Structure 1
Amino acid sequence: PQFTPGRFARLIEKYEAGSVFLVPSMAIELLGSDSARRYATDSVRLVGSTAAALPQPVALGLTRAFPNAQV
């Protein structure tokens, strides 16, 4: 299935995911939407990024979107 920020955040909330992994383009799309604010993401303790370097502004955005997580 294709990545959509809403589905991603909804599944985090539904399954109380503790770890999530994204590529930078997915993180940018997630941060550009309101999905991380509309759904409960406080269960996430680890956010990993793969495939390419994660730009510093995106990493900072992820720390705000997932306040309980190590990015």
Structure 2
Amino acid sequence: MAKNSFPSQVKVAVRFLRTRASHIDVLAGDVLLSFSQPSFYFHATAAYDILRMKGVQIGKRDFYGRIRKKPI
């Protein structure tokens, strides 16, 4: 994949199926921001809640990961 090809892919038209009989034609970027990203955060939050309910000692620091910085 070319270095700058991903941003161009968000403008690709896709057919988003709502039900077997209904669909919406949208851009790929709209599906990403309107469906995929919220779904990811919902499931990550649900998994976090389940782990906490089961007694796993996790918190915000566990989600941070390593520090990302650019060379100065």
Report which structure shows greater RCO (CA 8 Å, sep ≥6). 1
Whether TM exceeds 0.5 here: the answer is: no
Flag the structure with larger Rg. 2
TM-score (norm 2): 0.23
